[in-house]
Structure 1
Amino acid sequence: MAHAVISCLHANLAALEAVLADIDQQGIDTVTCLGDLVGYGPQPNEVVNLVRERQIPTCQGCWDEDIIEGLNACDCSYPSQLAERRGQLAHQWTADQLSEENRAFLASLPMSLRRDRQRFVHGSPNSQHEYLLPDMDAFAALERVEGAGAETLFCGHTHRPYVRELRDGSIRVRVRQMPGEPAGVAEAEDRELRLPLRRIINAGSVGEPRHGNTHATYVIHHEDTNAVEIREVPYDVERTCRAIVDAGLPPIFAWRLRHGFEYAERADDASHVCER
């Protein structure tokens, strides 16, 4: 059986419609969403309504959280003060646009979802705001998956799809002799725990791709073979760009959609998680 995972819709209705049409064309009935239904894009109510109509199981993204809780989460990963101001403007615009029903829906979303030995989160099991980047330290990546009690961890948030396999993982511990132990016990003993294959699968972004082109991305997990397919779906980018400008949102949001990740700003430390 095939299972589709989507993430980071960002109020981009044209992209979401194209991805759902592609999923339907593949004959896939099971879809999971990793959050960030809103933010940056011009159609927050339309996107939330479509997710609700399709009854897609969804976990809460960082934008979904911030719309409900206010901007109390991390602002440290903005690459500049100008980018931060644009983000705040988009937050206020989105909050003003959302219906009470859709606001209540976002508030009701869980932080994570589980399906057998699969765990679904927006950023990481620790926070909606933590980035699991493809080149993060292998031990830290393994800890995120193992700590979640999962064999496969599905995430989004980075807007860059990838599949990372953590093979031949091991944890080595040196155990020192405690005072009072029987004679003959070694002063120190190395113990090694071998871990089976673990995977992190990032679904990329439906509504704001940042992987090098403008195509929306999502992943298909073929559960019978455990194979993973990253799919790219073209959509009417200009339709969304016009709607961004017409809504009075910062025109750079439209410019970014037209060009993709190589022209987007990047944070100096995208892995940082604010503790305040």
Structure 2
Amino acid sequence: MRIALLSDIHANLPAFEAVLEDLEKRKPDAVYCLGDLVGYNVWPNQVIGLVRKHGIATISGNHDLKVSKIPPSVGGCSKEENSEYAYKLVGGKEREYLLTLPRHLRLEFLLNDQQLNMLLVHGSPRSINEYLMQKLPEGYMLELVKEFNADILCFGHSHKPYHRVINSGENGIDHFHHLINIGSVGKPKDGDARACYVLLTIDQTASIQIQNTVQVEFVRVEYDVEKAAQAVERSPLPDAFADNLRKAY
């Protein structure tokens, strides 16, 4: 089974459209989104519309929850309010959708009479705002995957993709856990401005006791970065957001 995992689109319609086009070519068996559909750009409603049109199962991100605190824009937005402009653009039906998204999704596979548990979150299982950075101590990560019974833990939020494998096995019996940061479709922060998503392959050989049987591919997709950056500059949003897109930081 091939599963596409997206995260942190952040209202970047050109990036999302390019990823959808790439997915149409690759035809994964399932597509999931790990949240943050909105924020930082001017197309939140269009992005939400495409997510719903394509039936992409989605969880809530911290930016999606911000719409509960920031009312829609009426009669424009002053320069003093520019950091909130991205959320003021979100329409009524779109707000309702965002605020009813689940906080996590759990998938359970039974392969070779062995259960494989996959947990999808935005930040971490403990908090939607927690950053699970690649260099966190292994002991902390082990504690996390054990607490939430996750053999494959997928998350976003930091916009920095990585795949890390840790072993919680004891008494000579391996038990491998895969920690996968999906990266960002619409606002990468790893120095590569291309959109990023993950293709995860789980087949009949997949096992918690064999490290390399879960395959993780980070897919990078070219898109019109300049179009997205100029849309920011033409809006009340901070021009720094455009620089972020161009330089991927």
TM-score by length of 2: 0.85
Deviation at 1:168, TM superposition (A): 5.0
Distance 1:219 1:35 in 2: 14
Pairing of 1:90-239 with structure 2 (within 5 A) = 90=83, 92-116=84-108, 117-167=117-167, 196-224=175-203, 225-239=213-227
Deviation at 1:127, TM superposition (A): 0.8
Letter in 2 for 1:250: P
Letter in 2 for 1:217: C
The residue number in structure 2 matching 1:59 is 59
Find 2:238's aligned residue among 250, 258, 261.
Answer: 250
How many aligned positions are there?
A: 225
The residue number in structure 2 matching 1:89 is 82
Residue range with higher mean Cα deviation, 243-252 or 105-114: 243-252
Distance 1:246 1:169 in 2: 54
- Detail structure 1 runs of 4+ shifted over 6 Å in the superposition: 192-195
Secondary structure at the residue paired with 2:144? helix
Query: RMSD of aligned C-alpha atoms?
Result: 2.1
Structure label with greater radius of gyration: 1
Pairing of 1:73-88 with structure 2 (within 5 A) = none
Deviation at 1:5, TM superposition (A): 0.2
TM-score by length of 1: 0.77
Distance 1:251 1:237 in 2: 14
Distance 2:105 2:168 in 1: 27
Residues 16-54 of structure 1: CA distance to partner in whole angstroms, max 9, x if unpaired?
111111111112141000000001112111111111111
Secondary structure at the residue paired with 2:165? strand
1:18 aligned onto 2:18: yes
Deviation at 1:194, TM superposition (A): 6.8
Secondary structure at the residue paired with 1:199? strand
> Measured at CA, do residues 193 and 103 of structure 1 come closer, stay the same or move farther in structure 2, by a change above 3 Å?
farther
Distance 2:220 2:147 in 1: 31
Distance 1:122 1:193 in 2: 33
Letter in 2 for 1:89: N
Distance 1:169 1:137 in 2: 17
Residues 240-273 of structure 1: CA distance to partner in whole angstroms, max 9, x if unpaired?
0111112221111111111112xxxxxxxxxxxx
> Measured at CA, do residues 140 and 195 of structure 1 come closer, stay the same or move farther in structure 2, by a change above 3 Å?
farther
Distance 2:127 2:66 in 1: 12
The residue number in structure 2 matching 1:74 is none
Residue range with higher mean Cα deviation, 199-208 or 60-69: 60-69
The residue number in structure 2 matching 1:49 is 49
* Gap regions ≥5 residues in structure 1: 71-85, 171-191, 262-276
Secondary structure at the residue paired with 1:16? helix
Distance 1:61 1:168 in 2: 29
Distance 2:20 2:139 in 1: 35
Distance 1:136 1:69 in 2: 32
